[in-house]
Amino acid sequence: MSHPSPPAPSGIDPLTGALDRLNQVLTTARGSAESATGSLVVETSGNGTIEIAHIDDQLASGHDRELAAALNGLIRASREQALSSTRNALDDFRSDPRIAEAASAIEDAIAKPPSTDPTPRLRPANTEYRILRPRSRSGLPYWQRHRRTLLRPA
C-alpha distance across the termini of the chain, in Å: 89
Q: Which of 58-62, 81-85, 136-140 has the highest mean pLDDT?
A: 81-85
Strand order in the sheet with 50-55: 30-34, 40-45, 50-55
pTM for the whole structure? 0.53
Q: What is the CATH number assigned to the segment(s) 14-111?
A: 3.30.1310.10
User: Cα separation of 90 and 100, whole Å?
Assistant: 12
Confidence label for 31 from pLDDT (cuts 50, 70 and 90):
very high
- Give me the residue spans of the domains in the chain: 14-111
Q: Where are the beta strands (DSSP E) in the chain?
A: 30-34, 40-45, 50-55
